Amino acid sequence: MKQSFFDTTTIDGLIIGRVEPHIYAFETKTIPNYLKVGDTYRPVGVRIAEWKKIYDNLVHKSEWEWLAKVGDAETRYFRDYAVHSFLKSIGKDRLQPQDIGRDIYYSDEFFKDTNPLDVDKAIEDIKANVNTDKYKFYNEAHLPEVFTYERNDKYEPRPNQQATIDCFVEARKQGRRHLLMYAVMRFGKSFTSMCCALEMNAKVVLIVSAKADVHDEWQKTIQGHTKFERYDFLDSNDLLKEKNAISNRIKNNRRVAVCLTLQDLIGDNIKDKHKELFSSKVDLLIVDETHFGARAEEYGKVLRNVNGLQERQIQAELTRQKNDEGQQEDVDEALKQIKSLEVDTTLHLSGTPYRILMGSEFKKEDIVAFYQFGDIVDDKEQYDKEHRDNDNYNEWDNPYYGFPQMIRFAFNPNKKSRELIERLQQNGYSAKLNELFRPKSVSKKSNGSHAKFVHEREVLDLLMVIDGSQSDENVLGFLNYDRLKEGKMCRHIVFVLPFCASCNAMKKLIADNRSIFKNLNEYEVINIAGIDH
């Protein structure tokens, strides 16, 4: 046997599932008295949704779907060609181009005076001839594969995670049902949340987020850890493929964790694939990244209370937020729809400390965790301190091993920025740094004003001080500090700015002045929150 150059052990453990091929049918008033018969290797609901964009008044029923697999072990499958062949053999005529108007999309998979019962007969005949050459069959190996994580993680909650789980349990005992877990990235919010689900014996867990990219992390957590072996991970495609995906598993003494995006829930009416979910009791609703796309109005309330920021500018920024990639208006609509769910407990997850929001929306008793990065580093150091005198102690035994050291600098703005802020305060402004980093326009302008700061000179001076190309008695030019440079301890810088257009302005300001910087000119600037991003 030829030896492979690649070790596929890991990936072999990931690939365990396959997509089931189906025959489907639908009717449309666009082409009356005809039945469309096709096949798909994707969820039928996905294919039907595509056809709905082409044909108006499309009618499809769940019983108009047939598994396209044959044989005792169902290891072979057939295409819609076999069904078409049978329909032609019983006198059903295909749609011809001249039978419809030129402005109507033509497909030769429509059959005149045909109904789903005719397809039933076709399927029966195909199965009866599985061992003949009447129809063409295909090997199942040609089907696309889907990925499932191998369940081999066995770690226990870290002390801070266990403390969060304990707080969750206690909050529910006190009747609290609207809870918040604030913790920075790398805390393990998804793992801790599912441990909370276990503690409350949740049978149906619904995870929703405005960010689609959290899907894989949740799937890996739920499918990969032995603690959650009774949970089946379901997403939008699973609900499309299986009408009663939730109840079928509950009947078999399984539990489900359904992961959906807020955008997927958008619509004037509840989508067919969501009907079972909305008719079920959700034991635990987890709103992941609750700060993202779901708090624009609350953010606006905060801004409106800041003297000196023009109401016109605030409204423009909120309007831009509502049209951001999260499509805030749609997200708000989805959140309203979620409220119609029957939910026992809701757990909000956030890694962004909107303290004002937490103060108004969540009471102290509702916050089951509040962990900033420094808290985790402190826990790491404390654990080492308690165990370092033990001769058998290895530092990698520390449950927080791997969290890097963090050095925090706090300083006043440079002299020119302070002078500007003082002048603004004398004129009734109190926004301080928000005002310092205000762009000339918060919406995109052809003249590029959205990429320029109102107080560009002061911002540039502050950057030069931080960079070390200019000095100031109140600010350490840390980018030019030898110890930090030798230790390569500032390879990444994150600018958190008050407006999205401020990000455009900051990127342009640094790019236009590279020649005057000693250190900032070595950084690549990546804008992830600007108007065009």
24-40 pLDDT, tens digit each: 999 999 999 999 999 98
Which residues are CB-contacts of 306 (< 8 A; sequence separation ≥ 6)? 430, 431, 434
Which of 72-81, 102-111, 175-184, 346-355 bottoms out in mean pLDDT, i.e. has the lowest? 346-355
Q: How many CA atoms lie within 13 A of 212 on its CB side?
A: 7
Return d(Cα 461, Cα 466) in angstroms, integer.
9
In the numeric block, which tokens belong to residue 369? 């965790």
Determine the straight-line distance between the first and last CA of the chain, rounded to whole angstroms.
51
Confidence of residue 189 (pLDDT cuts 50, 70, 90): very high
404 pLDDT band, cuts 50/70/90, is low
Per-residue pLDDT tens digits for 368-389: 998 887 787 788 778 877 876 6
Nearest to 22 by CA among 39, 47, 37, 6: 39
Which of helix, strand or coil describes residue 65?
strand
Q: Mean pLDDT, to the nearest integer, of 463-475?
A: 84
CA atoms within 13 A on the CB side of 200: 28
CA distance 533 to 529: 6
Q: With cut-offs at 50, 70 and 90, classify the pLDDT of residue 325.
A: very low
User: 25 phi and psi, to 5 degrees?
Assistant: -145, 150
pLDDT at residue 327, as a whole number: 43
Higher pLDDT, 487 or 511: 511
pLDDT for residue 528: 76
Mean pLDDT of 164-172: 96
At 385 the pLDDT is 77
- Complete domains list, the chain, with CATH: 20-143 (no CATH), 159-371 (3.40.50.300), 415-522 (no CATH)
Instruction: Provide the pLDDT for residue 304.
Output: 32
Token match 């096709």: residue? 38
Q: For the chain, give the percent of residues with pLDDT over 70.
A: 76
More confident residue, 498 or 453: 453
DSSP 3: P
Ranked by mean pLDDT, the top range of 47-51, 87-91, 148-152, 389-393 is: 87-91
Average pLDDT over every residue of 170-190? 90
More confident residue, 141 or 442: 442
More confident residue, 381 or 120: 120
Strand partners, 35: 111
Reported for 236-241, long-range contacts at CB under 8 A and 24+ positions apart, including other chains, are: 236/260, 236/261, 236/264, 236/273, 237/42, 237/43, 237/46, 239/45, 239/273, 239/274, 239/276, 239/277, 240/43, 240/44, 240/45, 240/46, 240/273, 241/20, 241/43, 241/44, 241/45
Query: Residue 365: pLDDT above 80?
Result: yes
pLDDT at 74: 67
Determine which helix (DSSP H) or strand (DSSP E) holds 80, and give its type and residue range: helix 80-89
What confidence category does residue 312 fall into, taking pLDDT thresholds of 50, 70 and 90?
very low
What average pLDDT does the chain have? 79
Give the separation between CA 268 and CA 29, rounded to whole angstroms: 22
Higher pLDDT, 385 or 239: 239
Q: Which residue has better confidence, 85 or 450?
A: 85
Q: Are 240 and 42 in contact (CB under 8 A)?
A: no
- Residue 322 clears pLDDT 60, i.e. is over it: no
Length reported for the chain: 533
Check residue 294 and give its pLDDT: 43
Residue 67 pLDDT class (50, 70, 90 cuts): very high
Q: What is the pLDDT of residues 193-230, one digit of tens each?
A: 999 999 999 999 999 887 777 888 899 999 999 999 99
Q: How far is CA 194 from CA 177, 202, 231, 346, in A?
A: 16, 9, 10, 13
Q: How confident is the model at residue 16 (pLDDT cuts 50, 70, 90)?
A: very low
Q: Which of 440, 457, 476 is nearest to 516 (CA)?
A: 457
Specify the pLDDT at position 142.
52
